[in-house]
Structure 1
Amino acid sequence: MAYDDSRFRGEPGFREEPDFRSGGVPEDAPTLGVSNQSVYTPGAFPVSPAYGSPSGESFDDPPRRRTPTAQQLGDVFDDPEHGEPGRDRFAVHALWELVLLLAAGALLYLVRDASPAALRGDELRGLLLSGAELGLVALALGLSLRAGAPNLAAGPIAFAAGLFFASNSERGLLMTALITGLIAVGVGVVIAVLVVAFHVPGWATSLAVALALIAWIANQPSEKLVDGAYDPHKHAMWWALGVAVLAAGGGALGVIRPLRRSLGRFRPVRDPADRRGGGAATFTGLAIAGSSLLAAVAGVLVALDDRGVAAADATGSFGGFTVTVLALGAALAGGTSAYGRRGGVLGTLLAVAVITLLLRYTAAEGWKLQPIALAAGAIALGLVVTRLVETFGRPRTAAELAEEAPWTPPSITPAPVDVEDNWSPPSSRTGSWPGGFAPDADRDRGPDRGWSAEERWGTR
C-alpha cells in the first residue's frame, strides 16, 4: 500500500509533499511577494513589478542599448581610412596663437621704439602692403598644406604673374589682371592633375613646375607698369584688412569638421601609395588651383606696389625661392601641420605679422638679417609646432575618453516595496518551503524529472 494512503492523513509524523510533476506549485503554497499567477514558462523571466522589471520579459529579446551621444553620432560618419574618428582638439592652436600675438605685440613696440616713422605715413603704408603680399603667398602655402599637397611653386607663380601683368598693363589693368589669374589657375591645374592622377607628393610636383617657371622668368626682360596705373598705397590699410579677413575666414572655415576632413583627405593615413578616392582628388585639385590664384594676386600686388617687376629678383637669391620659403615658414610657424589637414584660425596671419615686423625691426637697427636665414628659422620652428599640433591636436582615443569620464558609483538604493503585497509566512509545519524556492525546484520542473510519490517513498 502506498504511503500517501488517506488512512495516514492527520496522524502524527505525516507530512504532505507538493507534486512537481505538473510544472507548477500548489495553490496554497506561501509566496514571497510574487503573484501566484507568475508561474515559470520556458523563455520567460517572471519578476515582480516591485523589483523594477516587468513580468514576462523574455531572455530572447534584444538587449536594450543606450541612446548614442552627439559625439558618437558624429564619429559614425568618420571613415577610419581617412583619419582618426573624432573631433580635432584646438586648445594647442589657441595657446600657440596667443604666444604669436604676444610676440607680434612685442615686435610692434620695438619697431615703434627703434623707428617711430615706420608706423606713420608712407612707411606705414609700405609696411602694410609688404605684409599683405607675404600674407597672400602664405595663405596659398597654407591652403595647399591643409590639403596635404604643399605648392612650392607659389613664389615663382607670383613672380611670373607680376611679370606678365606688368608687360601687358597697357591693355587695361582689370582685363590683364583677370587673364593673369586665369593663367595662374591653369598652372595650378597642371600641378593638380599630376599630383592626383599619379598620386605623387605635391611638393615634388610643384618643385618641378617652379623650376620650369624660373627658367621662363630668366629669359624675360624687366617690365614696368604703364604710367597712371593704379597705386595700391592709397588703400594699403584696406589691402591689409582684406588679407586679414581672408586669412581669418579661411581659418574659421577650417574649423568646420566635414570641410576640414574633406580638405585634408589627401593626407596619407596608412600607406602613402593608397589612393584617397575621388573626393580627396577633387578637394586637393581645388586647393592647389586656389593656392596658385592667391599667389597670382600677390604677384599683381607686388607689380602695382613696385611699379614693375625685375626678372633678377626672381632668379637671384636661391632661384626666387625667398618668398616661397618665407611663406612656408609663416604657414608652418602659424600652426598648420606639415602633414596636412590640421591648422588654427589666426596662426598664419599672426606669423606673417611677426615676420614682417621682425624684418622691419632688424632693418631699423641696422642688423644684417637675410630673409633666407629668417625663413630657415621659421621653418625649423614650424616643424616643432607641427609635432605639437599632431600630438595635442589629434582626437581623443576611446581609452582617453574613458579615463576622463567621471566615475559614478552604482546605485544601491533598494527597490520600493509595495505595502499592499501580503507576504505569507512559511508554514509552521516542519520542512515546508515557500513556493518557487524549493532547493530542487528549478532542476525538477521538467515533465520527465518530477518526483512521484512512488519514486520518493516507494511502496509498502
Structure 2
Amino acid sequence: MAYDDSRFRGEPGFREEPDFRSGGVPEDAPTLGVVNQSVYTPGSFPVSPAYGSPAADEPVGRRRAPTTQQLGDVFDDPEHGEPGRDRFAVHALWELVLLLTGGALLYLLRDASPAALRGAELHALLLSGAAFGLITVAMGLSLRAGAPNLAVGPVALAAALFFAANSNRGLLTTALITGLVALGAGVVIAVVVVGFHVPGWAASLGGALALIAWIADQPDAKLVAGAYDPHGHALWWAIGVAGLAIGGGALGLVRPLRRSLGRFRPVRDPADRPGGGARAFTGFAIAGSAVLAAAAGVLVALTDRGVAAAGATASFGGFTVSVLALGAALAGGTSAFGRRGGVLGTALAVVVVTLLLRYTQAEGWKLQPAALAAGAIGIGLVVTRLVETFGRPRTAREIAEDAPWTPPSITPPQPEPEDNWSPPSSRTGGWTPGAYGNTAYDSTGYGNTGYGNTGNEAPRESDRGWGVEERWGTR
C-alpha cells in the first residue's frame, strides 16, 4: 500500500509533507510570473523581465538627463558614418578664399577687357556661367550622394541636340520631352549603380560613352526662327542658378537630409550593400543630376541658337565638360567621398572657373579646358583632404582634450574627535550632582541629594559612599 494513497488523506494523524523537489513550493502552486533569481540588493527590485523592468543589479533612481548632442546622435547609425555633427569652419574658411579669388579675377578681367562686363558680352558671360553652373550643381548632387555621375556633360550635349532638332514641335513641349528622355537615361544609370551596388563613376562612365557614340551619329541642329532668346534675361538666369546652388548647399546643412543623402558613402567595406533608404536617395540624386544636365543643354541650345555635333565630338562629346564640372564641385568644397560639402562653395567655384576662362581669352592665352579641369581636380582633392580632416565630427577624446582644465578639489583631513568618554549608567538616567534639587553636605562629607529625604536628614545606609553600589554602573 503506497504512502500517498488517497484513502489516508483527511484521516486523523495523516500529515502531508511539502514537495521539496521544486524548492519548497508545491509543483501545482500558481505562479504570477518568472521572477529574476538575482540576489536582492538595496535600491533594486527583482521584477519579471517580461515587463521590461531593469535588472536586479541595475540601480533604480534618477538618471542624468541626456544632452542635446546625445539626443541628436541617438538615431545615427555608426555603420553609415561617425555619430555627431559635422564641423563647417573649414568650409567657411575655404569659401572665403574662393570669394577673394573671384574678386581678384573680376578686377583683372575689368582691366584686361572692360567690354566683357558690359552689354552683350556680359549677357553671354552670365548665360555661359549659368549653363556651366547647372552642370556643376548636377555633379555636386551626385557627388554628395557618393555616386558621381560623369555622364552629366554628354547628357547636356545630347539634350541640346535633341531639343534643337525637335524645336519645331513647340519649345515647352520639346523641353519637357527632353527632360523626360534625360530622366530615363539617369534612371538607367541609377538602377545599375544601386541595383548592383557598383561605384557611380564606373556606371556613369559607361553611360557617357554610350551617349558620346549616339552624339557622333547626329547631324548639326538649329532652333526654329522666333524661338525664345534668353539674352534678355541673362541676369535672372544667373541669379536663378546661383540660388539653386546656394539653396542646395543650405539644405545640406539639415542633418537628417545630409546623412540620408550621403549614406551610399562607403564606411567599412565599399562592396557592402547599404539599406533601402540609401539606395533610394542615391537613385534620386543620379536621376536628378541627369535632369539638371538636360536643363543646361536646353539653355545652351537657346543661347547658341544651334548645336554643332561635329565640334562636340571633337571635344570628346561633352566629357570634358563633365570633368571640368567635377573639378569645380571638388574645388567648391564637396568631398570626393560624398556627404560633406559647403553652402556657397559650388556657386563661388563656378564664378572662379567662368571668370578664369574669360580672362585667359581676353589676355590671349590658350588655356585648354582639359588642363583647367586637371588643375581644378587636383585642388579639389586637396580640399577633400582638408574637409575630411577638419570637417568630420569631433570625437570624445578631442572634446575632452579641448575642455578647460580644472584642478581637482582637495578635501583637507578632518581632525579626529576628542575622546570625551563617560561611563554608561546601569540605571535609567545616570547620577548627576544637583540633579534633584540643592545638595546639602553634612559632617560625614556625603551630600544629601534628596533621594526621598527632605531637609538635613542623614542619607540612607545604601547611599553612603559609592563603594556599596556604584553610581556609574557596569555593563
Same fold (TM over 0.5): yes
The separation in 2 between residues aligned to 1:208 and 1:223, in whole angstroms, is 25
Q: Distance in 1 between matches of 2:84 and 2:76?
A: 7
Structure 1 segments of 4+ aligned residues over 4 angstroms from their partners: 42-45, 409-414
Which residue in the other structure is 1:163 paired with?
161
The aligned amino acid for 1:200 is V
Aligned to 1:346: 344
When residues 59 and 249 of structure 1 are mapped into structure 2, their CA distance, relative to the original with a 3 A threshold, is closer
Residue 303 (structure 2) aligns with:
305
In structure 1, the residue matched to 2:88 is 90
Aligned pairs (5 A) from 1:3-82: 61-62=59-60, 64-82=62-80
Residue segments in structure 1 that go unaligned for 5+ positions in a row: 1-41, 46-57, 415-422, 431-460
Q: Does 1:113 find its partner at 2:107?
A: no
Structure 2 unaligned spans of 5+: 1-39, 44-55, 425-475
* Alignment root-mean-square deviation, CA: 2.0
CA shift, 1:326, in A, is 1.1
- Does structure 2 retain, via aligned residues, the 8 Å contact 1:44–1:59? no
Task: Give the superposition deviation at 1:424.
Answer: 11
Aligned CA distance change for structure 1 residues 106 and 219 (closer, same or farther; 3 Å)? same
- CA distance in 1 between counterparts of 2:286 and 2:137 reads 12
Computing the radius of gyration from Cα coordinates, the structure with the larger value is 2
Provide Cα deviations, 1:197-221, integer angstroms capped at 9, x if missing partner.
0000010000101111111110010
> Kindly tell me: are residues 60 and 227 of structure 1, through their superposed partners in 2, closer, same or farther at Cα, counting changes over 3 Å?
closer
Q: Take 2:254 and 2:194, find their aligned partners in 1: how far apart are those partners? A: 24
Secondary structure of residue in 1 paired with 2:315:
helix
Residue type at the aligned position of 1:155: G
Give the letter aligned to residue 254 of structure 2.
I
Corresponding residue to 2:422 among 400, 417, 428: 428
- Contact residue 156 and residue 318 of structure 2 kept, 8 A: no
Which of these residues, 266, 278, 281, is aligned with residue 279 of structure 2? Answer: 281
Q: Report what 2:324 is aligned to.
A: 326
Partner of 2:207: 209
CA separation in 2, counterparts of 1:59 and 1:130? 70
Aligned counterpart, 2:369: 371
Taking the aligned partners of 2:352 and 2:420, their CA distance within structure 1 comes to 88
Taking CA–CA contacts closer than 8 Å with sequence separation of 6 or more, which of the two structures ends up with the larger relative contact order? 1
How many positions carry a matched residue from both structures? Answer: 369
Q: CA deviation at 1:62?
A: 3.2
Match of 2:143 among 139, 142, 145: 145
Q: CA 1:122/1:411 → structure 2, altered by over 3 Å: closer, same or farther? A: same
| Shift in Å, 1:59 | 9.7
* Contact preservation (8 Å) 2:130, 2:237: yes
Q: 1:44 to 1:133 in 2, by over 3 A?
A: closer
Match of 1:238 in 2: 236
Structure 2 partner of 1:433: none
**1:138-176 deviations in Å (ceiling 9; x for gaps):** 000000000000000000000000000000000000010
Structure 2 counterpart of 1:373, one-letter code = A
**Is 348-357 or 312-321 further displaced after alignment?**
312-321
Once residues 427 and 379 of structure 1 are traced to their aligned partners in structure 2, the CA distance between those partners, rounded to angstroms, is 88
Cα distance, 1:59–1:145 mapped onto 2, change above 3 Å? closer
Counterpart Cα distance in 2 of 1:312 and 1:108: 33
What is the deviation of 1:413?
8.2
Which position in structure 2 is the counterpart of 1:181?
179
